[in-house]
Amino acid sequence: MKVIKEIASWVIPILVGLAIAFLVKTYVFTMARVDGPSMEPNLINNERLVVWKQAKIKHLSVIVFDAYGEDPTATKPKTDYVKRVIGLPGDTVSSKNGNIYVNGKVVPQKFISMQERTSGTGNWDLQTLSRSWNKNVNVTKVPKGEYFVLGDHRSVSNDGRYWGFVPKKKIVGVAKTFFWETNKTKRHNVNDLGY
């Protein structure tokens, strides 16, 4: 009996700790890693992020989502992408001369340079983009329960312009950088721009 109590005295705290860790990872936050240059200059390849699962998704929030089933080139489940939310459900989105417009208003893009805004962005609206997508062909607004995303490094980013919208059910959460990972400006550009 004494041996059972002794074993239980260290097994129970371990099990409780594992259960708490599982619940936190499932419902509160998880970790992610940037893969590739699509979010430069604000996030770099291999940079670590914390992903808040219950955070509200806003315009310009940086999110992590599973691209499998959305981007045809994402061939494995749990292929996480990191992108910036441009359009929320019901929004119209367009691009002209390096400016992004949401519901007819210019989106402030001080988080990237003028060259990054114009190089690779092109002139388009959702309807013209959607003609080449597999789903949501000829849409004029972001559908209910979905989001339109772009990478900050537009000329190399594989994003919503090429394959469409991200369903809410595929979004892991809102990404935030660690204070030791980057400088103050880049942290602000990732952590504080949502509106």
| Cβ atoms of residues 176 and 49 within 8 Å | yes
Q: Does 155 participate in catalysis according to the annotation?
A: no
| Cβ atoms of residues 49 and 43 within 8 Å | yes
The first and second tokens of residue 93, run together, are 């989105």
CA 3 to chain centre: 50
The SS3 of residue 5 is: helix
| Cβ atoms of residues 47 and 177 within 8 Å | yes
Composition of the chain by helix, strand, coil, percent to 5 = 25, 25, 50
Of 38, 61, 95, 130, the active-site residue reads: 38
CA-based Rg of the chain, rounded to a whole angstrom? 20
Q: Does 76 participate in catalysis according to the annotation?
A: no
Of 61, 83, 94, 95, the active-site residue reads: 83
Which residues have CB under 8 Å from 70's CB, separation 6+? 163, 164, 165, 166, 167, 170
**Sign of the CA dihedral 113, 118, 124, 130?**
negative
Residues catalogued as catalytic: 38, 83
